[in-house]
Amino acid sequence: MSIIKFNRRFPMFNQFFPDMLHLDPIFTDELTSKNNWIPSINVIENEKNFEIEVAAPGFGKKDFNVSIDENVLIISAESKNELKENEEKFTRHEFYYNSFERSFTLPNSIDLNKEISAKYNSGVLRIHLEKLVVLKNEEHRKIIEIA
């Protein structure tokens, strides 16, 4: 949304260049709003576990909610910061709210019975998920004697 409407200096160009170059509909407030920010995520698969890293600077440990619902990992956070400055004849209040939610369908190889841990340090949330222990073919084999 523009505060000041563009005023063309040469009205004759209006007939040659109509508002086809008008970019307001492309760059709306909804597109560029901080509320539409989504953190970058790394998923690292090792032999025995998965590590998920969420780059979310500016949040505190208490701002996060991490849950699993029907094999879907849900990571969300909401941050509310308020800055107040009081001077002799001037008061300024600034509010900043930021939130996001990401969800991932977990593979069947995740062991939901084992402890799932999460740590937040230096702007990065790390979630540790253990894999199920898969037995080798020889350990699955049972020999049945024929009588």
pLDDT of residue 120: 95
Chain-wide mean pLDDT for the chain? 76
CA–CA distance, 77 with 50 (Å, rounded to integer): 21
CATH hierarchy code of domain 39-140: 2.60.40.790
Residue 16: pLDDT band with limits 50, 70, 90: low
Nearest residue to 39 via CA among 102, 110, 94, 81: 102
b (16+ CB within 10 A) / e for 103-113: ebeeeeebeee
pLDDT of residue 6: 47
* In the chain, % of residues over pLDDT 90: 37
Of 3 and 50, the structure prediction assigns the larger pLDDT to: 50
DSSP element (H, E) containing 14? helix 13-16
Q: Please answer whether residues 36 and 100 qualify as being in contact, where contact means their C-beta atoms are separated by less than 8 angstroms.
A: no
Which tens digits make up the pLDDT trace of 96-135?
788 899 999 999 889 888 889 999 999 999 999 999 887 6
Q: The tokens of 40 are what?
A: 């970058």
